[in-house]
Structure 1
């Protein structure tokens, strides 16, 4: 009997020691927070997660301590029908739940559509750092039935690239293969480290091209099946295309790209797939941005004018009508160096290079909120080369402006494009 008592007390004592050690490590180094999570709910793995109300769509939560210690949840909500949402934070080690009411901040550039890019701003608990959050329309309920999201940027990555291009969104069974390859190779010449593409749909051939660049390590694909949840417009304003959400949720994707790459990239370029921010005075983006940042040390956003190079107007004598490219679907941008002139009393649209750590909210052509200034870059320094259908189709050819800036790298570009097409089997 005495022997059994001794063994009993030995087990109890050992258990207490183990518990004390676990508590000590929990306080000191937070080891159990992520690895042995007690947080419940269904883990969310998709880019877009609808809540059961079908009026709230969660993209991803990001830790943001630039002003307040909070989690900023990038989402899409109905601007009238969603009145209240609550953030349910979970302590990974204990399973403790902390609930705070979300501030629902629908972005001002909604362009009349009922759904819009939205930040759900959730104040975090003061005494511990949550790694998971769920979003619910009530402060009470069963957390087991809620999607559980891991909070990004809590422990930022240390590996930085200099430039990341955010492309949002690739849709409409995109098949402009030649222009895409040319743009990708031009990005690489100019200094890109990563290209993030929010992909809705593309052709099988384009899928093959994307796979090539993914294997190369330069392209990152973010699945973007937004049309599985909402009726999306292919036009910019509700008055011309009355759907649920504008332009395949482009603004939401851009905002997600900023927060996703906030600590992964020194600068982000926010432009469409058929656009290139093309330096005029500098050989590449790095030398251009070094000079612009010295000239404007308080700047967070650099704005570049968009100029149209009509794909319907070809270069005289056509020196880049390369026979091996003719069977590849898409536009050959080297054949289009005639630029439309500015229109009277109409400002050119713009695209941007931003410091993601200083941006709070962005739209397509300008930043809505930032911790820093916005600078308009003169077009002789750089412009947005945009090869597309003309905006001034009735202009005579003589009125177009010859602009051969794109040709400065023509020898290198042709070699690189040929190599890619050969490797892909085109």
Structure 2
């Protein structure tokens, strides 16, 4: 049955339900809205700019799967072109950071705005004419390309407005002009949301079809101590969509304490093509995640779905960080050096031969690791205390008020389950992770997949490469 609700078309019936409240031009997804959404028939809902599109395709990639955050109901998470200024500038969000409003931005690399102003509004109707402040424009570390990630910091001037916080911000290149558009300021309520000990941020899911990898990631980081996973979605398949809906609804309806948040990450397009910026603006997604969740996280982790920061001498991340912090009190980052477990050397762990095939698990099915461990300045990932960090990089802290503790490889390592980075590297047998967590992981995978009986793994069994001509080094 198709029912018209406040200008929007949704499918409503015994099996399908999508509840929404209209708020201005945005849909606000309520906590109960995911309770009856299933994707077993490859149905996806696309929520963007005042419309809900219903798609049924066997291979449809869902570009705008969103889940509500505890503090941003009614906010459109999308890149918007700033109008009325001298260069192309895209804003994803405006995040309150006490000292300033941080605009998560993509800009033309190397461009210098000569007379840029932030206009801060402190009333809902913007009747106060706004307060103008000079911003700091900071290009984030990005490879050479036409566009770069950037942070535009609009300093707060509480003495000019009785200590209040701004509700909206706009950008102009004139001391008198009014902005053509304004952006709502998020993160205003420090008490909104749930404080988690560890938040894990995963940037840019692009053409993501491997649901097995996602389920393994969620269950494994829970053992490590994560309480929240934040994902940035560019495009995902219907089976991945189904997994995300299950986990997000568990959190929203109070069945689980583990929180999964999915933010749309659809990069701007020009002339029908996505703009040229490296790695789907990975650096910007990291910046957004840190500033969106740093006040709701004691520690944060930034890595990919196929990477695991493994505590080798401790039960979990919390125990590892606590001991290392006693040893080095000034540490704000704990660096895990990387080593690859190769997909072209399938080697199921003893006792888990059937389980690794059943659940498409790299942890259970790949125990052949490169003997080579990358140095700290190459491919490493970190746990960080975000309190004093101003700029977080992919592999290091660019700017922060403390030191990085490079963990000894017998204390912690980054296990990266992927295609080989060196074809003939000498191998070692690596079972420490599966020995420690294997049985618990199997139980968790069995429980999760039992709730997804018609959802495909999206995983193809690995094939062993011919290594007969290798001279291992």
| TM-score after normalising by structure 1 | 0.79
In the alignment, which of 309, 321, 346 is matched to residue 277 of structure 1? Answer: 309
CA contact (8 A) 2:94 2:183 kept: no
Q: Does 1:49 align with 2:80?
A: yes
In the alignment, which of 229, 249, 252 is matched to residue 195 of structure 1? Answer: 229
Q: Does 1:91 align with 2:122?
A: yes
**1: CA distance between counterparts of 2:282 and 2:440?**
32
**2: CA distance between counterparts of 1:380 and 1:262?**
29
Aligned pairs (5 A) from 1:12-23: none
Local SS of the residue matching 1:179: helix
Aligned pairs (5 A) from 1:255-404: 255-315=287-347, 319-322=351-354, 326=357, 332-342=362-372, 348-395=378-425, 399-404=426-431
Quote the residue 2:9 is aligned against: none
**2: CA distance between counterparts of 1:174 and 1:281?**
33
Deviation at 1:303, TM superposition (A): 1.3
**2: CA distance between counterparts of 1:231 and 1:376?**
41
Quote the residue 1:170 is aligned against: 205
Deviation at 1:348, TM superposition (A): 4.0
**1: CA distance between counterparts of 2:302 and 2:385?**
11
How many matched pairs? 363
In the alignment, which of 171, 174, 189 is matched to residue 138 of structure 1? Answer: 174
Kindly tell me: are residues 195 and 424 of structure 1, through their superposed partners in 2, closer, same or farther at Cα, counting changes over 3 Å?
same
Local SS of the residue matching 1:277: strand
Kindly tell me: are residues 273 and 343 of structure 1, through their superposed partners in 2, closer, same or farther at Cα, counting changes over 3 Å?
closer
**2: CA distance between counterparts of 1:274 and 1:166?**
13
Deviation at 1:376, TM superposition (A): 1.0
Q: Does 1:219 align with 2:219?
A: no
CA contact (8 A) 1:276 1:385 kept: yes
Quote the residue 1:416 is aligned against: 444
**2: CA distance between counterparts of 1:356 and 1:114?**
30
CA contact (8 A) 1:200 1:224 kept: yes
Deviation at 1:384, TM superposition (A): 1.0
**1: CA distance between counterparts of 2:196 and 2:217?**
19
CA contact (8 A) 2:339 2:373 kept: no
Contiguous gaps of at least 5 residues in structure 1: 1-42, 233-242
Kindly tell me: are residues 175 and 89 of structure 1, through their superposed partners in 2, closer, same or farther at Cα, counting changes over 3 Å?
same
Deviation at 1:119, TM superposition (A): 1.5
1:285-336 deviations in Å (ceiling 9; x for gaps): 111111122222211121111111011112267642326x6476x5533110
Quote the residue 1:58 is aligned against: 91
Kindly tell me: are residues 385 and 317 of structure 1, through their superposed partners in 2, closer, same or farther at Cα, counting changes over 3 Å?
closer
In the TM superposition, structure 1's runs of 4+ consecutive aligned residues that sit over 6 Å from their partners are 343-346
Local SS of the residue matching 1:378: coil
Contiguous gaps of at least 5 residues in structure 2: 1-73, 252-258, 456-473
CA contact (8 A) 2:337 2:373 kept: no
**2: CA distance between counterparts of 1:182 and 1:346?**
26
Deviation at 1:270, TM superposition (A): 0.6
Question: Which is greater in Rg?
Answer: 1
Local SS of the residue matching 1:424: coil
1:184-242 deviations in Å (ceiling 9; x for gaps): 1111111111100011111111110111111122210011001546966xxxxxxxxxx
Q: From the two aligned structures, give the one with the greater helix fraction.
A: 1
| TM-score after normalising by structure 2 | 0.71
Local SS of the residue matching 2:299: strand
**2: CA distance between counterparts of 1:149 and 1:253?**
19
**1: CA distance between counterparts of 2:396 and 2:375?**
19
**2: CA distance between counterparts of 1:282 and 1:386?**
19
Local SS of the residue matching 2:201: strand
**2: CA distance between counterparts of 1:272 and 1:264?**
21
Kindly tell me: are residues 344 and 101 of structure 1, through their superposed partners in 2, closer, same or farther at Cα, counting changes over 3 Å?
closer
**2: CA distance between counterparts of 1:284 and 1:343?**
22
RMSD: 2.5
Q: Does 1:104 align with 2:137?
A: yes
Quote the residue 2:105 is aligned against: 75
